[in-house]
Amino acid sequence: MCSWKRRKTRELVLPTKSMRKYIENIIIGAGISGLTIARLLEEKKIPYLIFDSRSNIGGKLETIKHGEYDLDVGFQIIIEDYPAFKIFPEIKNIKIKRFESGFIINKNKNFYKILNPIKNPIGFLKNSSFPDFSIKDKLLLIVLFLKNEKSKNLNVVKYLTNLGFSKKFINDFFKSFFQGVFLDKNLQIPLEYFLFIYKLFAKSNVGIPIGGINSLATLLSNKLNKNKIELNNKIIKINENSIIDSKKNEISFRRLFCTDPSLESLMDDDINVQIFKDIQYKKTFNYYLVVNINNISENIIYLFPDSNIISSLYFSKKNGDNYLVSISSLNCDNYNDIKNEFISYFKNVNSLELIQSFNIKKALPYIDKFYKFKNKSYIKYTNKIYFSGDFLSTPSINGSIESADNLIEDLEL
């Protein structure tokens, strides 16, 4: 079984005996899933050590400081009623910049403000200035809120069509709004997950933590011993009973928790079953501009159903008429195209400057195969190695926490 190449790799990385250590529980990844595992072990006073190759905790919950601005790597929001948040009561106290419940939609060169129908049904029904939203469509939003479908295989757009929503409404509202959430304009996601997110948006407060999305990871890590988090240390090999880190230290474990599917590629051939080898990701682009502009609304999502490149944007006020604008696109890596289209929508721009852009290639995992994996959202890979994370649950903060929580709950600790 052993090829020459593998023997050679092993020889290269095998550490000397004096360097070997033992840690009862090793967690690879200080993203939200790894931090959740650590918190749950900490509560039970069980020893652990987290490794992450990055220089900061948080994984995909990444915020970059740019002068006075905290810029999230990708438009990321917290839904305050995420069910998994209940295991961390302190999340209730996190300061959140909330979005107004509803959105502003651009159609035929005009802007229309639409209120959330569940929170404000009378205002929503009365506010009929938008040309494409019929009374039937509006009432069906309430019907949809009451639906409970467990099927994974029904196509979301077909389901909405069969329910009676008009094509225009599906395009201008559902596809336009939810493409930014699922990073997929065709809404090819399990129906159950779509309904779950739709209902949460309808009834819950939504926003971004002050200081950026990474503040959530920092909050969870506040109750962890910082000496138990080893950053800037990439794991380079995973054996049945041990890992090897970037400094060529071999550390053996009783349990290993992996929170990224790419870790499978580091596994010894004897244990690698290649379950994640075909995993794919949805991408997104995010542009941050400082804009001097008047007569706009801040902290509400703007939608552009007719645009081929801008999916959504929002403004946050800085001072006077200066705003930070975050623009999301599913497909456009050309800033000039984004800028020209932005100016075509907002004629009252006095000045604008791009301060940062992100091209996020591995944003959300495609989840068809692993969606809520075996209803548990984690995998026992070998007798000692486990995988958890958004790729085994739902691609969200809620999914990452839920996956880790289910895993620790099922272990006999």
Ligand X SMILES: Cc1cc2nc3c(=O)[nH]c(=O)nc-3n(C[C@H](O)[C@H](O)[C@H](O)COP(=O)(O)OP(=O)(O)OC[C@H]3O[C@@H](n4cnc5c(N)ncnc54)[C@H](O)[C@@H]3O)c2cc1C
Distances from the Cα of 309 to the Cα of 189, 291, 327, 336, angstroms:
21, 19, 10, 11
30 counts as binding ligand X under rule CB under 6 A: yes
Residue 209 contacts ligand X per CB under 6 A: no
Q: Does 38 bind ligand X (CB under 6 A)?
A: no
Piece of 72-80, 119-127, 164-172, 192-200 that binds ligand X (CB under 6 A): 72-80
Q: Which is nearer to ligand X, 137 or 390 (CB)?
A: 390
Alpha-carbon distance 234 to 144, whole Å?
46
341 binds ligand X (CB under 6 A): no
CA atoms of 283 and 182, how far apart (whole Å): 10
**HSE of 144, CA atoms in CB hemisphere, 13 A:** 31
For residue 385, how far is the Cα from the chain centroid?
24
Based on CB atoms, which residue is closest to ligand X, 102 or 207?
207
Stretch binding ligand X (CB under 6 A), from 7-15, 70-78, 139-147, 159-167: 70-78
Q: How far is CA 86 from CA 269, 299, 406, in A?
A: 39, 26, 13
Helices (H), 212-258: 214-221
Interface residue with ligand X, options 74, 207, 209, 261 (CB under 6 A): 74
| 192 part of the interface to ligand X, by CB under 6 A | no
| Residue count, binding to ligand X (CB under 6 A) | 35
Contact 378, 408 (CB under 8 A): no
Least distance in angstroms from the C-beta of 361 to ligand X? 10
165: helix, coil or strand? coil
Q: Closest separation between CB of residue 121 and ligand X, Å?
A: 26
Say if residues 280 and 366 touch (Cβ distance below 8 Å): yes
The only residue of 31, 102, 209, 305 in contact with ligand X, by rule CB under 6 A: 31
The binder of ligand X chosen from 61, 141, 187, 195 (CB under 6 A): 61
Contacts of 85 by beta carbon, 8 Å cutoff, 6+ apart: 91, 92, 398, 401
Which residues are registered as beta bridge partners of 287? Answer: 327, 357
* Span from 10-18, 96-104, 297-305, 396-404 in contact with ligand X (CB under 6 A): 396-404
Residues 69 and 356: their CA atoms lie apart, in Å, by 10
Which residue from 234, 254, 317, 374 is in contact with ligand X, where contact means CB under 6 A? 234
Give the DSSP per-residue string, 349-368: EEEEEEEEEEEEEEEEE--T
Choose which of 26, 39, 41, 76 interacts with ligand X (CB under 6 A).
76
Residue 194 touching ligand X (CB under 6 A): no
Q: Is 224 in the site for ligand X (CB under 6 A)?
A: no
**Smaller CB distance to ligand X: residue 170 or 267?**
267
The DSSP element (H or E) to which 407 belongs, if any, is helix 397-410
152-184: b or e for each residue (b if 16 or more CB lie within 10 Å)? eeeebbebbeeeebbeebbbbbbbbbbbbbbbb
Please tell me whether residue 214 binds ligand X under the rule CB under 6 A: no
Q: Does 259 bind ligand X (CB under 6 A)?
A: yes
Q: How far is the CB of 384 from ligand X (least distance, A)?
A: 18
Identify which range of 13-21, 56-64, 138-146, 293-301 contacts ligand X by CB under 6 A: 56-64
Does residue 54 interact with ligand X by CB under 6 A?
yes
Q: In whole angstroms, how close is the CB of 388 to ligand X at the nearest point?
A: 7
> Which of 26, 28, 94, 325: binder of ligand X (CB under 6 A)?
28
Binder to ligand X among 260, 264, 341, 405 (CB under 6 A)? Answer: 260
Q: Which residues pair with 98 in a beta bridge?
A: 207
Q: How far is the CB of 129 from ligand X (least distance, A)?
A: 29
Question: Is residue 389 close enough to count as binding ligand X by CB under 6 A?
Answer: yes
The beta strand positions in 76-135, using DSSP E, are: 78-79, 96-98, 102-107, 110-115
Query: Which residues form the interface with ligand X (CB under 6 A)?
Result: 28-34, 51-54, 59-61, 74, 76-77, 234-235, 259-260, 262-263, 284, 360, 363-364, 389-390, 395-400
